[in-house]
Structure 1
């Protein structure tokens, strides 16, 4: 019982350590220490043996619950405390698999080699199902600014997560005095990956563009800012007009929701956007709302000097329970508040948009967590941007 409690507390401390790797703290190394501790509490000890599969599941869930409760309070500022806590609990339940399989593989001689694969599989599942998953809690996001971030150029954020876990398992295996050879081999593979990723993979400088990123801000925080959407548009127009007379730029980027009063349907909004584009003297990428035969679209539209609206990007990866409501009729049986969620329809491609002489790949806010959002646009010739809302 004593060892079980120690392991459980250790798993929770590990969750707190992993949290410290994310911004705004940004201690990338804390994720490695946290994963090392998680592996240690799931593995057999020289004294006291190893945890049961059931205890392993509890340890992993407790680890994840601490991590997600610390990581996701920003969601509560939009939808309230209970939905945020419910989301943290739901995401933690995936770790039942991590705990059960983690305990099983940690008993093996080559457990430190297999555990990273288990971790990546559970993270993939959490980031994929249901309703497209929730990829914003990937371990790899905590490596921004750290020496392992360049591994993303080889295998995306999934591989970054895997490498972090692999290094953590190496540290944990050393602490447990596990066989040296497999640990050394795993560490060698990780080092080769990190070194290879830090070297340019055939990239070349093909030129440069000057981009003005406009942040107009909103009158107040929370979902109620939609009632202030005309003021938000005015803020962005005012900030963009300040570009007049300054050093010329090649393009201007506004965030998602910057023109919720759509310039396609509101004459005053159209005039305001036109004034901003004329002042900038360059294409402006505007976040707005449009409607077609399919339904409402979360749209990033290019407005060009002289010619007006040009290419556009429909947000493809929509946020469930926010931008759309999965199983709306079913959840309405429990609460009418389901209709607070939007009814946006997703785009079907991630084609880049043309801004002057440049093809730009657009990933809008929530989309940045999904690999395909940027990958497809870049493969089709686009330089990738993320337009987060305010």
Structure 2
């Protein structure tokens, strides 16, 4: 469906629309979290890109992406100063690449449903590359994340949901009212359908009472009294990532104190600490789990934070065998990406206890944005999660992604909740995780086809008559 001449506007108006829609897109995420603003945020970009190609399309995409990340991730400026602008530009390049191929598709004559479907795969492919495959992979602000936990996540995951969101926006931007309404109805039903899991009762043999201590930059002598203040029926305790920012097992006084405390309190404890390698230089950021009988196991953080000294990356993703079943203990940033929690679940994890470090200096906005990703991982894999953070956000999350307990950003204190062991596997954990790979494959074939067609057209133009 073509725009009438009366509705066409100048390139400067398109630039303004790209900027405004980028700002709206960013507001769909915390701290405001006005989720459905993602729709005008995407529709505005697609309208601005209509009939644009080449450098004009790329500029529009870059401006939209810059607004998304500069507004949404403005807190990065406090961490990296002017270098944050470079990071925003790098992330915005993926939107520019999306816009470039939109221009090639329209130049080739794609329109209607064909263009809408291409748009969904085009966006989904670049989003997956940016989030999971690019060396500076960054999964925040994905389109599927904007609408939160929903009934589609256990089937196709957050990247699959993002493809559906952009499909709805593409149909709406081209005024395909019936098609857009049908896709939006699907998304709305998916958001309303999941029922909140009931908190497990104390008599449930698969339930365990868990408590966490939310403190930052303190010592073991602060964590132990805070843990002692937890209710007596708490059987599993979590301390944050870097709760003990040294190799506690290599420091006998604290290691003996920790083991004796677990025996006296009769608890299983998962905490963030370090593991030093024999060379004395290399180290790993680990979640260590122990109980009255000693160490139960550890998980090495698989996704160290970019630009920070966060240890060497771990390779495995296995749950820990405890008295309370098999427990997944991914560390903080591991939950930003889909792979670690999925692999732990497939390997038998029945629930998750997650140490997290979100420093106070990173602002409450960063904390709230990060907390959303934990809810997505719980819903994708159908597992209860207990998140224990340094300065928030600590959470108790059910298998539908709903929050049953929360200790907010910049607070100190304790949080308790009851988790239930789950053994069933979602379709996503089994096969649905392949969705973004399929999307990327289809997108890549489309990109190659468009580039090949463009080159053939240039050759034909320059060939002698």
- Once residues 74 and 264 of structure 2 are traced to their aligned partners in structure 1, the CA distance between those partners, rounded to angstroms, is 39
Q: Deviations over 1:117-163 (max 9, x none)?
A: 11111111112343262223323232226xxx332211111112222
CA drift of 1:93 comes to 1.4
Secondary structure of the structure 1 residue equivalent to 2:29:
coil
Point out which structure has higher relative CO (alpha carbons under 8 A, 6+ apart).
2
Name the counterpart of 1:270.
Answer: 255
1:384 pairs, out of 352, 360, 369, with 352
Q: Residue 150 of structure 1 contacts residue 194 of structure 1 at CA under 8 Å; is this kept in 2?
A: no
- Once residues 272 and 84 of structure 1 are traced to their aligned partners in structure 2, the CA distance between those partners, rounded to angstroms, is 42
Q: Residue 289 of structure 1 contacts residue 299 of structure 1 at CA under 8 Å; is this kept in 2?
A: yes
- Once residues 76 and 358 of structure 1 are traced to their aligned partners in structure 2, the CA distance between those partners, rounded to angstroms, is 43
Name the counterpart of 1:237.
Answer: 224
Name the counterpart of 1:312.
Answer: 298
Quickly say closer, same or farther: Cα 1:88–1:280, change in 2 above 3 A.
farther
Name the counterpart of 1:25.
Answer: 32
Name the counterpart of 1:208.
Answer: 207
- The TM-score with structure 2 as length reference comes to 0.66
Name the counterpart of 1:153.
Answer: 154
**Over aligned residue pairs, what C-alpha RMSD do you find?**
2.8
- The TM-score with structure 1 as length reference comes to 0.78
Q: Deviations over 1:30-68 (max 9, x none)?
A: 11121111111112xxxxxx2233211111111111111
Quickly say closer, same or farther: Cα 1:310–1:199, change in 2 above 3 A.
same
Secondary structure of the structure 1 residue equivalent to 2:151:
helix
Q: Structure 1: where are the runs of 5+ without partners? A: 44-49, 175-179, 219-230, 324-341
1:14 pairs, out of 16, 21, 29, with 21
- Once residues 158 and 352 of structure 2 are traced to their aligned partners in structure 1, the CA distance between those partners, rounded to angstroms, is 16
Q: Structure 2: where are the runs of 5+ without partners? A: 1-7, 358-389, 391-465
Q: Residue 46 of structure 2 contacts residue 170 of structure 2 at CA under 8 Å; is this kept in 1?
A: yes
The worse-fitting range, judged by mean Cα deviation, of 364-373 and 108-117 is: 108-117
- Once residues 73 and 187 of structure 2 are traced to their aligned partners in structure 1, the CA distance between those partners, rounded to angstroms, is 30
CA drift of 1:377 comes to 0.6
Name the counterpart of 1:109.
Answer: 112
1:188 pairs, out of 182, 186, 190, with 182
Matched, 1:359 2:326: yes
- Once residues 156 and 266 of structure 1 are traced to their aligned partners in structure 2, the CA distance between those partners, rounded to angstroms, is 42
Name the counterpart of 2:272.
Answer: 287
Q: Residue 378 of structure 1 contacts residue 384 of structure 1 at CA under 8 Å; is this kept in 2?
A: no
How many equivalent residue pairs?
338
Quickly say closer, same or farther: Cα 1:55–1:276, change in 2 above 3 A.
farther
Secondary structure of the structure 2 residue equivalent to 1:24:
coil
- Once residues 45 and 269 of structure 2 are traced to their aligned partners in structure 1, the CA distance between those partners, rounded to angstroms, is 47
Name the counterpart of 2:246.
Answer: 261
Matched, 1:168 2:155: no
Name the counterpart of 1:297.
Answer: 284
Q: Deviations over 1:341-364 (max 9, x none)?
A: x5x222111101123222111221
Quickly say closer, same or farther: Cα 1:74–1:279, change in 2 above 3 A.
farther
- Once residues 192 and 265 of structure 2 are traced to their aligned partners in structure 1, the CA distance between those partners, rounded to angstroms, is 37
Q: Residue 65 of structure 2 contacts residue 96 of structure 2 at CA under 8 Å; is this kept in 1?
A: no
Secondary structure of the structure 2 residue equivalent to 1:128:
helix
Quickly say closer, same or farther: Cα 1:30–1:235, change in 2 above 3 A.
farther
Quickly say closer, same or farther: Cα 1:234–1:57, change in 2 above 3 A.
farther
CA drift of 1:199 comes to 5.6
Secondary structure of the structure 2 residue equivalent to 1:351:
coil
Name the counterpart of 2:82.
Answer: 82
